[in-house]
Amino acid sequence: MIKHATKKSFSLVVFVVLFFSYNAFSSEITQDEIVQKYYMSDLNGIRLGKYNDDNFEKLYSWQYEPGWDYAFIVDEVNIYNTKKLSNSSTSVEVKYHIIGILGGDNVNTYEFYEIVNFILVNDGSSWKIKEPIIPPHISITAAIKQLEEIIRVDGEADKYRAIKLKYTVVRLNRPLKIISI
Protein backbone atom coordinates (compact mmCIF):
# COMPACT_ATOMS: atom_id res chain seq x y z
CA MET A 1 0.00 0.00 0.00
CA ILE A 2 2.80 2.45 0.81
CA LYS A 3 4.56 1.68 -2.45
CA HIS A 4 1.38 2.44 -4.41
CA ALA A 5 0.90 5.78 -2.58
CA THR A 6 4.56 6.66 -3.14
CA LYS A 7 4.23 5.94 -6.86
CA LYS A 8 1.12 8.14 -7.05
CA SER A 9 2.86 10.97 -5.17
CA PHE A 10 5.94 10.69 -7.36
CA SER A 11 3.77 10.70 -10.49
CA LEU A 12 1.91 13.76 -9.24
CA VAL A 13 5.17 15.60 -8.51
CA VAL A 14 6.54 14.77 -11.97
CA PHE A 15 3.29 15.91 -13.58
CA VAL A 16 3.27 19.22 -11.67
CA VAL A 17 6.93 19.91 -12.49
CA LEU A 18 6.41 19.11 -16.18
CA PHE A 19 3.18 21.10 -16.32
CA PHE A 20 4.72 24.25 -14.85
CA SER A 21 7.92 23.85 -16.86
CA TYR A 22 5.88 23.59 -20.06
CA ASN A 23 3.73 26.60 -19.16
CA ALA A 24 6.78 28.69 -18.28
CA PHE A 25 8.38 27.75 -21.59
CA SER A 26 5.27 28.24 -23.66
CA SER A 27 4.53 31.67 -22.16
CA GLU A 28 7.97 32.97 -23.18
CA ILE A 29 7.59 35.82 -25.64
CA THR A 30 9.10 35.24 -29.09
CA GLN A 31 11.32 37.66 -30.99
CA ASP A 32 8.53 38.23 -33.54
CA GLU A 33 6.13 39.12 -30.71
CA ILE A 34 8.63 41.61 -29.25
CA VAL A 35 8.93 43.37 -32.59
CA GLN A 36 5.16 43.26 -33.05
CA LYS A 37 4.61 44.86 -29.61
CA TYR A 38 7.20 47.51 -30.52
CA TYR A 39 5.60 48.49 -33.82
CA MET A 40 2.05 48.33 -32.43
CA SER A 41 2.97 50.80 -29.67
CA ASP A 42 4.83 52.94 -32.20
CA LEU A 43 1.79 52.97 -34.52
CA ASN A 44 -0.32 54.19 -31.60
CA GLY A 45 2.00 57.18 -31.13
CA ILE A 46 3.92 56.21 -28.01
CA ARG A 47 7.17 57.61 -29.40
CA LEU A 48 5.67 61.04 -30.09
CA GLY A 49 6.42 61.85 -26.45
CA LYS A 50 2.90 62.06 -25.05
CA TYR A 51 2.65 58.63 -23.51
CA ASN A 52 4.66 56.84 -20.86
CA ASP A 53 4.85 53.07 -20.77
CA ASP A 54 7.59 51.28 -18.85
CA ASN A 55 6.73 48.04 -20.65
CA PHE A 56 7.51 49.67 -24.00
CA GLU A 57 11.01 50.58 -22.81
CA LYS A 58 11.64 46.92 -21.94
CA LEU A 59 11.37 46.01 -25.64
CA TYR A 60 14.63 47.71 -26.70
CA SER A 61 18.17 48.04 -25.37
CA TRP A 62 19.08 51.69 -26.06
CA GLN A 63 18.99 54.11 -23.15
CA TYR A 64 17.64 57.25 -24.75
CA GLU A 65 15.06 57.81 -27.43
CA PRO A 66 16.16 60.63 -29.76
CA GLY A 67 13.89 63.60 -30.25
CA TRP A 68 12.33 63.31 -33.68
CA ASP A 69 11.22 66.17 -35.92
CA TYR A 70 9.14 63.93 -38.14
CA ALA A 71 7.21 60.67 -38.21
CA PHE A 72 6.28 58.33 -41.03
CA ILE A 73 2.54 57.79 -41.50
CA VAL A 74 1.88 54.09 -42.08
CA ASP A 75 -1.17 52.22 -43.34
CA GLU A 76 0.25 48.69 -43.50
CA VAL A 77 2.89 46.79 -41.56
CA ASN A 78 3.91 43.16 -41.39
CA ILE A 79 6.71 40.86 -40.33
CA TYR A 80 7.80 38.93 -43.34
CA ASN A 81 11.10 37.32 -42.43
CA THR A 82 12.81 36.10 -39.26
CA LYS A 83 16.33 34.66 -39.19
CA LYS A 84 18.34 33.26 -36.32
CA LEU A 85 21.79 34.83 -36.55
CA SER A 86 23.28 33.07 -33.52
CA ASN A 87 22.13 31.67 -30.18
CA SER A 88 21.93 35.20 -28.84
CA SER A 89 20.83 37.24 -31.86
CA THR A 90 17.96 37.21 -34.32
CA SER A 91 16.95 39.34 -37.29
CA VAL A 92 13.28 40.25 -37.76
CA GLU A 93 12.43 42.07 -40.99
CA VAL A 94 9.39 44.33 -41.01
CA LYS A 95 7.80 45.84 -44.08
CA TYR A 96 6.08 49.21 -43.67
CA HIS A 97 3.85 50.87 -46.27
CA ILE A 98 4.52 54.58 -45.84
CA ILE A 99 1.82 56.95 -47.12
CA GLY A 100 3.05 60.25 -45.71
CA ILE A 101 5.45 62.12 -43.48
CA LEU A 102 4.33 64.28 -40.58
CA GLY A 103 6.92 66.96 -39.79
CA GLY A 104 5.86 69.37 -37.09
CA ASP A 105 2.65 70.78 -38.49
CA ASN A 106 3.40 69.82 -42.11
CA VAL A 107 2.06 66.74 -43.83
CA ASN A 108 3.63 65.53 -47.04
CA THR A 109 2.05 62.68 -48.93
CA TYR A 110 4.30 59.98 -50.31
CA GLU A 111 3.86 56.34 -51.06
CA PHE A 112 6.67 53.85 -50.67
CA TYR A 113 7.61 50.66 -48.86
CA GLU A 114 10.32 50.54 -46.23
CA ILE A 115 11.96 47.37 -44.97
CA VAL A 116 13.49 47.58 -41.50
CA ASN A 117 15.77 44.83 -40.31
CA PHE A 118 15.44 44.75 -36.51
CA ILE A 119 18.31 42.98 -34.73
CA LEU A 120 17.37 41.44 -31.39
CA VAL A 121 19.84 40.22 -28.80
CA ASN A 122 19.38 38.04 -25.76
CA ASP A 123 21.06 39.46 -22.68
CA GLY A 124 20.65 36.19 -20.80
CA SER A 125 17.24 36.97 -19.35
CA SER A 126 15.23 38.39 -22.25
CA TRP A 127 15.26 39.37 -25.91
CA LYS A 128 15.46 43.09 -26.77
CA ILE A 129 15.69 45.11 -29.95
CA LYS A 130 19.28 46.32 -30.27
CA GLU A 131 19.04 48.21 -33.55
CA PRO A 132 18.15 50.17 -35.58
CA ILE A 133 16.70 53.20 -33.86
CA ILE A 134 14.21 54.36 -36.48
CA PRO A 135 11.98 57.46 -36.58
CA PRO A 136 8.43 57.00 -35.31
CA HIS A 137 6.11 55.08 -37.64
CA ILE A 138 2.56 56.12 -36.74
CA SER A 139 -0.94 55.26 -37.88
CA ILE A 140 -3.25 57.77 -39.51
CA THR A 141 -5.21 57.94 -36.24
CA ALA A 142 -2.06 58.87 -34.30
CA ALA A 143 -1.17 61.47 -36.97
CA ILE A 144 -4.61 63.07 -36.62
CA LYS A 145 -4.29 63.12 -32.82
CA GLN A 146 -0.87 64.76 -33.16
CA LEU A 147 -2.27 67.43 -35.48
CA GLU A 148 -5.21 68.03 -33.15
CA GLU A 149 -2.72 68.60 -30.33
CA ILE A 150 -0.81 71.10 -32.49
CA ILE A 151 -4.07 72.83 -33.38
CA ARG A 152 -4.99 73.12 -29.67
CA VAL A 153 -1.59 74.58 -28.82
CA ASP A 154 -1.65 77.06 -31.71
CA GLY A 155 -5.21 78.09 -30.91
CA GLU A 156 -7.18 80.19 -33.35
CA ALA A 157 -4.12 81.80 -34.99
CA ASP A 158 -4.20 79.82 -38.21
CA LYS A 159 -7.40 77.82 -38.15
CA TYR A 160 -7.53 77.55 -41.95
CA ARG A 161 -4.05 75.96 -42.04
CA ALA A 162 -4.99 73.57 -39.24
CA ILE A 163 -8.12 72.45 -41.10
CA LYS A 164 -6.11 71.99 -44.29
CA LEU A 165 -3.50 69.84 -42.50
CA LYS A 166 -6.14 67.69 -40.88
CA TYR A 167 -7.88 67.26 -44.24
CA THR A 168 -4.59 66.12 -45.81
CA VAL A 169 -4.22 63.37 -43.22
CA VAL A 170 -7.89 62.37 -43.34
CA ARG A 171 -7.64 62.15 -47.14
CA LEU A 172 -4.94 59.50 -46.61
CA ASN A 173 -7.34 57.60 -44.39
CA ARG A 174 -7.44 53.91 -45.15
CA PRO A 175 -7.87 51.00 -42.80
CA LEU A 176 -4.63 50.07 -41.07
CA LYS A 177 -3.51 46.62 -42.21
CA ILE A 178 -1.49 44.60 -39.75
CA ILE A 179 -0.45 41.12 -40.74
CA SER A 180 -0.27 39.33 -37.44
CA ILE A 181 2.26 36.67 -36.61
Per-residue pLDDT of the chain (181 residues), as tens digits, is: 555 444 444 444 444 444 444 334 435 789 999 999 999 999 999 998 766 677 898 999 998 888 888 999 999 999 989 999 999 999 999 999 999 999 877 788 889 999 999 999 998 889 999 999 999 999 988 988 887 777 666 555 566 766 776 676 666 666 556 655 4
Question: Residue 112 half-sphere exposure, CB side, CA atoms within 13 Å?
Answer: 7
Q: What is the pLDDT of residue 131?
A: 96
Q: Using the 8-state DSSP alphabet, how is residue 67 labeled?
A: P
pTM of the complete model: 0.75
Q: How far apart are the C-alpha atoms of 153 and 148, rounded to whole Å?
A: 9
Q: What is the pLDDT of residue 6?
A: 44
Q: Cβ contacts of residue 6 below 8 Å, gap of 6+? A: none
Whether the Cβ atoms of residue 137 and residue 111 lie closer than 8 Å to each other? no
Q: How far apart are the C-alpha atoms of 19 and 34, rounded to whole Å?
A: 25
Q: What is the pLDDT of residue 123?
A: 82
Q: Cβ contacts of residue 34 below 8 Å, gap of 6+? A: 59, 120, 127, 128, 129
Question: Residue 177 half-sphere exposure, CB side, CA atoms within 13 Å?
Answer: 11
29-179 has which CATH code? 3.10.450
Q: How far apart are the C-alpha atoms of 102 and 57, rounded to whole Å?
A: 23
Select from 29, 174, 179, 30 the least CA-distant residue to 94: 179
* Furthest CA-CA distance within the chain: 89
The domain spans of the chain are: 29-179
